[in-house]
Amino acid sequence: MFEPSSKDWTGKTGDSGASPLRVLLAEDTPINAEMMRAMASHLKIDMDVAANGLETIAMIEAARDAGNPYSLLLLDVMMPILDGVETAKRLRQSGYNETELPIVAVTAATSLDEVRSYRAAGMQAFLEKPVALDDLRAALKAWGHSTRSPKQRVSKASLEALQQQFEERNLQTLDRIDAALEQERFDEEIVMEIRNLLHQIAGTATTFGNPGLGDDARTHENALMAAFFANDDVRSALEDAGKSLRERI
């Protein structure tokens, strides 16, 4: 849901005469990114995608240098390499103010303290995951662009294709876990690959109606990394993850 907490927190209001938005979405999970781009397409919004915070900053700087700056950043809070909060801080410290580049957090973490941290980092509002089309429309309208009527919806074919990608990703994760166990490969490369797959499931499962799977994936992602960095029993962490995912998929 689009959740402005106050007039200052929301920022500027809609203006039917404003230029169409050029939006950058920072999102590390491909399925989530495709879902957002499908919704943006129906709202006639130009949306590019960055996969992490460093790429986000680079794309914003390149766009401004080229004279075609982004007018809104939709920023996933939990990303690899550089997370959303740190990305927002760096952008603000670099001189991108909220008038030039409003930032809207995209997150499932919406406790009061978490929302305060987004605001402190320089963000103007947040969208709660999984993002609905009407909530995305409301957020975009708040930054000055009139979108289509609420009757427009993402096509059934697009949703079915994304659902298939999600299911294939789940099976791929199980295959990689099984292969690591069979080969007794617990090195950094395979552990980080499986960690990234679990992270993507955690970020998309609720969107596809399986929040329990998302919670389990996040739990096992954290357990796997804790075991790896503590030189503990990575095999057991992978076995637990595989068993849990099979029960949910």
User: pLDDT for 174-216, tens place per residue?
Assistant: 999 999 999 999 998 899 889 888 988 887 787 788 888 988 9
Task: Indicate whether 3 pLDDT > 60.
Answer: no
Q: When comparing pLDDT for 52 and 231, which is higher? A: 52
pTM: 0.63
Q: When comparing pLDDT for 85 and 155, which is higher? A: 85
Nearest by Cα to 84 from 111, 57, 46 = 57
Residue 118 pLDDT level (bands cut at 50, 70, 90): very high
Superfamily of 7-142 according to CATH: Response regulator (3.40.50.2300)
Burial of 22 (0-12, 13-18, 19+ CB in 10 A): middle
Task: Indicate whether 232 pLDDT > 90.
Answer: no
